[in-house]
A and B are shown apart, each in its own frame.
Chain A
Amino acid sequence: MSLILEHVNYIYGAETPLAIKALDDICLEIPDGQFVGIIGHTGSGKSTLVQHLNGLIKATEGRIYYNGQDIDEKGYDRKALRSNVGLVFQYPEHQLFEIDVFSDVCFGPKNLGLPKEEVERRAKEALAQVGITEEYYTQSPFELSGGQKRRVAIAGVLAMQPKVLILDEPTAGLDPKGRDEILHQIKKLQTETGMTILLVSHSMEDVAEYVDRIIVMNQGRVMFDAVPREVFRHYKELEEVGLAAPQVTYIMHALQEKGMQVDVDVTTIAEAAEEIVRCLETLH
């Protein structure tokens, strides 16, 4: 029960003079229930990669298996795949269109052909999962704040009850509190429902606190694939490819250079504070 990619290549404009290799020999295995951050700069192939996972783009070469089945095989049920692997695009609030919040979230499950009661039950559950309370159900989605709109849009995908949820830059353009709220709710979703989460982002700082694993993409290839602290150890190489480790990593390295015996592998502010205090105490 997982997603497996075997030697996946993807070429935009294949067999034309403008051919560009967007994915280059990607091999990955994503087990159920993992929270994975996919990081890369603009044009690194991260969005192309996730669009393969629910069959929006077909690999030029290589195989993709979902629950052991090849998704490009003839007769494979793509529709079922898309309701199992939910994809939330960048700026998903641009896709809101219904007259009120509740109808918008109902749209997906309604299209699955479910009975009305089931559709409404799912919509309610999905809205609760993203922290949108009943008082908003009858409001126009266009009257909500940026963060609320985005959560309603995510609820629209959750109402399809996917097993795997892919989010492309879910925090872009939100204020800091809005960023924290969304990430927190996604984390909660993962721990409570065991959903697999793939989160595409530019920002290491955002994902460092939440994810189990980081996949760094560069020039269509997987550059690093490990737990956050392991990946941040390569902060100099990350910089070379247009990314950055969280500021904490830089602070800890700067302190170490000044002769403080700190563990440079910490990834969050809380860990860093504990580590520095511990270090100062051993001196006294």
Chain B
Amino acid sequence: MEIVKAKDVVYEYIRRDEEGNIEGILKAVDGVSLDIRQGQFIAILGHNGSGKSTLAKHMNAILYPTEGTVWVDGKDTKDEEELWNIRQTAGMVFQNPDNQIIGQVVEEDVGFGPENMGVPTKEIWERVEESLKVLGMYKYRKHSPNKLSGGQKQRVSIAGVLAMHPKCIILDEPTAMLDPNGRKDVIRAVRALNDVEKITIILITHYMEETIYADKVFVMDDGKIAMQGTPREIFSQVDALKSLRLDVPQVTLLAYELKKRGVDLPDGILTIEELVKELSKCH
């Protein structure tokens, strides 16, 4: 069953002048249809302004389509009665951890979501403990969030979403403000949520190497889905990605450069191990 389904979705930002007259209309999402199945790891790529964040905000009813329909776990996001169910099914993590953490103590912050849902106190604490353990942040449960590093804060944010027991987590550039270690920890945690907890992951990012383990990659451009496929299929198309202001992982780019220079390599090499193995064959 699809956890997120979009059909012919259009979203228009309407700009108005001081008198409220319409000055211009920008189609941020323009005719997007997609199906995301329960348990998949999905990555969405696209340059700044390509519409990927706008699309993501449709997946937990922060925005509603101007035209078309989005269903989350079978529920139409325009159905106001289902709003809280939808937000509980599909949780969202944003770029800046400082904008998402409100608690004075890590465990209180993580408990905020389930508390708002009316979960009994005993169960809140169980959920908090479990979520912090999954994210590897249990030993910081009594700490103040503002003493944590960016990557740790971001894992607390994810734990807060996880404690609401969602079926799907949408992460909008969760690593953009983190250093390499913080990035690695967050991505590792997100992959574990997918592998072990079977939570559907929708990861929006500008870092190509974070997407190589995804089941499927969507590339957005100008509000539309410009490319879709497995990471290998997508990253085989180096020139097409570059024309969309994107890039490929360094190792893929190196393989591509080597191919141009006449070295016999397959398309879409994604990891160092693959490249070393292939080059050993030529060796």
- Chain A residues engaging chain B, CB cutoff 8 angstroms: 41-43, 145-147, 172-178, 202-203, 205, 242-244, 246-248, 250-251, 254-255, 258-260, 269-270, 272-273, 276-277, 280, 283
Contact = CB atoms under 8 A, between A and B. Distances in A.
Interface stretch (B55-63, B118-126, B190-198, B275-283): B275-283
A176 B279 CA distance: 27
Contact of A176 (B49, B247, B280): B247
Given A42-B178, A176-B247, A283 B261 contact: no
A245 to B, nearest CB: 10
A259 B254 CA distance: 19
Given A172-B176, A178-B245, A280-B282, A247 B250 contact: yes
A276 B263 contact: yes
A131 B38 CA distance: 45
A282 to B, nearest CB: 11
Interface stretch (B71-79, B179-187, B229-237): B179-187
A173 B283 CA distance: 40
A269 B242 CA distance: 15
B253 A269 contact: yes
A175 B180 contact: no
A173 B275 contact: no
A141 to B, nearest CB: 15
Q: Which of A43, A145, A173, A175 has the most CB of B within 10 A?
A: A175
B206 A173 contact: yes
Contacts of B262: 277
B276 A254 contact: yes
A250 B283 CA distance: 19
Contact of A178 (B47, B177, B242, B280): B47
Nearest to B259: A273
Contacts of A276: 254, 258, 263, 279
Interface residues of B, number: 41
A41 B150 CA distance: 10
19 contacts: A42-B179, A172-B176, A173-B176, A175-B48, A176-B245, A176-B247, A177-B47, A178-B47, A203-B180, A247-B250, A248-B254, A251-B254, A251-B276, A254-B273, A259-B283, A260-B279, A269-B253, A273-B257, A280-B279
Contact of A269 (B150, B257, B273, B275): B257
Given A42-B178, A242-B179, A246-B250, A175 B257 contact: no
Tell me what chain A mostly uses at the interface: helix, strand, loop, or mixed.
Answer: helix
Contacts of A244: 180
B173 interface: yes
B180 A41 contact: yes
B85 interface: no
Nearest to B49: A145
B134 interface: no
B179 A202 contact: yes
Nearest to B244: A177
Given A175-B48, A178-B47, A251 B257 contact: no
B180 A42 contact: no
A147 B206 CA distance: 13
B272 interface: yes
A246 B180 CA distance: 11
Given A242-B180, A273-B258, A176 B208 contact: yes
B100 interface: no
A243 B181 CA distance: 7
Contact of A258 (B182, B206, B250, B280): B280
B101 to A, nearest CB: 16
Nearest to A43: B149
Given A242-B180, A276-B263, A283-B283, A176 B246 contact: yes
A276 to B, nearest CB: 6
B136 interface: no
A276 B279 CA distance: 9
A273 to B, nearest CB: 4
A146 B48 CA distance: 6
B282 A175 contact: no
Interface string B238-278: 00001001110111011001100111000000001101100
B179 to A, nearest CB: 4
Contacts of B33: none
A70 to B, nearest CB: 33
B69 interface: no
Contacts of B279: 255, 258, 260, 276, 280
Contacts of A243: 179-181
Interface in B8-42: none
Nearest to A91: B177
Given A41-B181, A176-B206, A260-B279, 10 more contacts: A176-B208, A177-B47, A177-B245, A248-B250, A258-B276, A269-B253, A276-B254, A276-B258, A276-B279, A283-B283
Query: Considering the complex of A and B, which 5 residue pairs feature the smallest CB-CB distances, nearest first?
Result: A177-B245, A176-B247, A247-B250, A242-B181, A273-B257
Given A174-B206, A177-B245, A280 B283 contact: yes
A272 B252 CA distance: 12
Contacts of A272: 254, 257
A251 to B, nearest CB: 5
B49 A146 contact: yes
